[in-house]
Amino acid sequence: MKRILLFILLAGVLSGCRGKAASSAVFTRAVYTPQYASGFDILGAEGWQSTVIRVRNPWQGAKEVEMAYFIARNGEKPPRDFRGGVIRAGAERIVCMSSTYIAMLDALGQVGRVVGVSGMEYISNPHVLARRDEIKDVGAEINYESIVGLKPDLVLLYGVSDALAATTDKMNELGIPYMYVGDYLEESPLGKAEWMVVLSELTDCRAAGERVFGAVPERYDALKRLVSGVTRRPAVMLNTPWNDSWMMPSVNNFVVRLIRDAGGDYIYPKNTSHSSVAIGLETAYGLIREADVWLNTGRVTSLAELLAVDEKFSDAKAVREKKVYNNNLRLTPGGGNDYWESGCVRPDVVLRDLIRILHPELLEEGDLYYYRHLE
């Protein structure tokens, strides 16, 4: 009996020492290598059940920024030289600072873990809304007192600038596990959706996450094949003016990629950068006079509202031919838009909408899901 007890004690000591003595350099085994996303990797090490998630450049303008998160399993401690965050695998109580994370957890069947959100009135997810009396709204500006009261296992943060160092410092000071999620910076529609695999790793259901995500590109690619032989590619205009200028996305932008995959041609291919650029209003008016289809027209829900923004829009070819569509069919009473929530994890559904708009002859008759026809 004494020998058994001694063995158990030694095993515990050796296990604890392993976590302190090992170097983080041992985490080189690819547990999951993204096929479409550029902002993360999941790594493992021989003899470890814990993993490390590396997140790269998780906010706009970030350059050569890399964050590491140790996903702890079975009592394993991070290596002594590990300088990143530590998150216990299988997080049960999660605060989501973006509604996109709610959609990812819902796709994984894990939305019941959500205990806090940012802006309840903007959320579309029916499971969260059904529990709105149980879920805390921590606000757009992080209310640390509310978050501490929730005793979360994890806060999923939305990075907008490197000024968030103050947020990181405060989270560390309060001992709250967190992770920055950079899905919104992905230029590939499938890359955005692939971040659900990261959330599946955090909730300890990676096999299910890989399976759920794996079906998305299959459906997406099947739709792409429908338009592979089209000879007529409608010219597509995007957006409406903002502060006397008109923002036009890059040819690398995920919306432009969706248009291309749906058999359309983006009307402003000059922007080959990796960010949107402002063009003059006269240039934009010239583009709308030529575009066959006009998409993503701000907050408007009818042609009358669009023309009220600027009467010059009546010169637009798409207005005259009634080929204007907005991505706001699924609005919440508070002004939230499900396109920016579940649409990010369902790019195949968005693509089907765009094919129905650009090449309706290729699909059986049916309704749009995220887009509304402005009439």
Give 375's contacts (C-beta < 8 A, 6+ positions apart): 302, 303, 322
* pLDDT greater than 80 at residue 9: no
What's the confidence (pLDDT) of residue 159? 81
Axis-axis angle for helices 347-358, 254-261 (nearest 10): 50
Mean pLDDT of 142-156: 95
The type of residue at 169 is D
Question: At residue 240, does pLDDT exceed 90?
Answer: yes
pLDDT at 4: 37
* pLDDT (0 to 100) of residue 81: 95
Q: How sure is the predictor about 16, in pLDDT bands with cuts at 50, 70 and 90? A: very low
SS3 state at 324: strand
Calculate the CA dihedral of residues 226, 229, 232, 235 and round it to 10 degrees: 60
pLDDT digits (tens, 9 = 90+) for 307-335: 999 999 999 999 999 999 999 999 999 99
Mean pLDDT value of segment 219-231? 97
The pLDDT mean for the chain works out to: 92
How far is it, in rounded angstroms, from Cα 235 to Cα 133? 47
pLDDT of residue 43: 98
Cβ pair 104, 195 in contact under 8 A: yes
Distances (CA, A) of 3 to 6, 9, 11, 263, 346: 5, 10, 12, 72, 57
> Which residues lie below 8 Å from residue 117, measured CB to CB, with a gap of 6+?
95, 96, 97, 99, 102, 123, 128, 135, 136, 137, 138
Question: Taking the complete model, does pTM exceed 0.75, yes or no?
Answer: yes
17-69 confidence digits (pLDDT tens): 444 447 999 999 999 999 999 999 999 999 999 999 999 998 888 888 899 99
d(CA 296, CA 353): 13
The average pLDDT across 69-94 equals: 96
Mean pLDDT over 70-85 rounds to 96
Tell me the two tokens of residue 54: 């590396």
At 286 the pLDDT is: 97
Residue among 55, 92, 59 nearest 70 (CA): 55
User: Is pLDDT at 160 greater than 90 in this prediction?
Assistant: no
- pLDDT attached to residue 165: 73
pLDDT at 92 exceeding the cut of 70: yes
